[in-house]
Amino acid sequence: MFLLLCPLVLAQQTLNNDAVVKLIKAGLSEDLVVSTINASPGKYDTSADGLIALKTAGASDKVISAIVMKSSGAAPAAAAAPAASAAGNGLPAGIDEVGVYYKDKSGNWTKLMPEIVNFKTGGVMKSILSQGIVKGDINGHVDGQHAKLTATFPVSIAVYVPEGTEITEYQLLRLRANGDNREFRSMTGGVFHASGGAKRDTLDFQPQRLTTRVYQITLDSSLGKGEYGLLPPGSYSSSNMASGGKLYSVSIIE
């Protein structure tokens, strides 16, 4: 009880260097001495000689730092809160809705905005739908020679998939330069329905599950630098309409 009440008892007294030395020599813990210093008025000698005398008397660096802070009028430093590894909803910090994210240079998940991709199959433009899968080869075209996002290996991508969707329905693609745009050959119906030339630009990947419906895909140097894209699952109708979908792309420069 004495140890617990000590800061309250001394809070009414003005402490100085000698009083702190007495507390130390009485065997009070470092944390208790610091708490007493923070809770009590004080008039300390913080000159070089005064600090050396405190150190010689057995004051720790933490105690001396508390004395210096008290003398300067600064508020005691608060204990650093541990960084949140996940948001309150159980998702990794920075991931708050369905979509695709990349890990930036600070190690934070940042949302990756999609680019528009136009599709052509069988020489006739088709429209992209969410149901009614039609299997077949498709050619995708994305404006611009390079993605807006540039990165270096390794590149970490997180995918928060919609409910009822599997990560294996996404396609990792190598994009090829063609004039002022990028193109790829893929397939409808997902990677596991592919055959023949449709797999020319599709790449295998091993997703790592971070939490429910959130997966991480890591692009390493074995792929080689270039343009890459992640194509969400989609399907195609047979109507003769221009189609537009979305693609998440990254330009890896080394």
Within 10 angstroms of residue 116's Cβ, the number of other Cβ atoms is 11
Give the residues across from 139 on adjacent strands: 120, 185
Q: How far apart are CA 201 and CA 193, in angstroms?
A: 15
**Residue 94 forms part of a structural domain:** no
On whether both 160 and 199 belong to a single domain, the answer is yes
pLDDT band at 237 (very low <50, low <70, confident <90, very high): very low
**Residue 210 forms part of a structural domain:** yes
Paired sense of beta strands 243-252 and 109-111, if any: unpaired
On whether both 117 and 235 belong to a single domain, the answer is yes
**Residue 150 forms part of a structural domain:** yes
Q: Rounded to 5 degrees, what are φ and ψ at 132?
A: 75, 55
pTM above 0.75, yes or no: no
The residue range of the domain holding 217 is 99-252
On whether both 106 and 231 belong to a single domain, the answer is yes
Q: Rounded to 5 degrees, what are φ and ψ at 223?
A: -75, -30
For the chain, how many structural domains are there in total? 2
pLDDT in tens, 60-70: 999 998 998 88
Decide if pLDDT at 80 tops 60: no
**Residue 88 forms part of a structural domain:** no
On whether both 170 and 236 belong to a single domain, the answer is yes
On whether both 56 and 127 belong to a single domain, the answer is no
pLDDT band at 74 (very low <50, low <70, confident <90, very high): low
Under the phi-then-psi rule, with left for phi > 0, alpha for psi from -120 to 50, and beta for the rest, what region is 123? Answer: left
Determine the residue type at 96. D
pLDDT band at 130 (very low <50, low <70, confident <90, very high): very low
On whether both 213 and 175 belong to a single domain, the answer is yes
On whether both 67 and 104 belong to a single domain, the answer is no
**Residue 231 forms part of a structural domain:** yes
On whether both 156 and 238 belong to a single domain, the answer is yes
On whether both 11 and 62 belong to a single domain, the answer is yes
Dihedral, 125, 159, 147, 247 alpha carbons, nearest 10: 10
**Residue 136 forms part of a structural domain:** yes
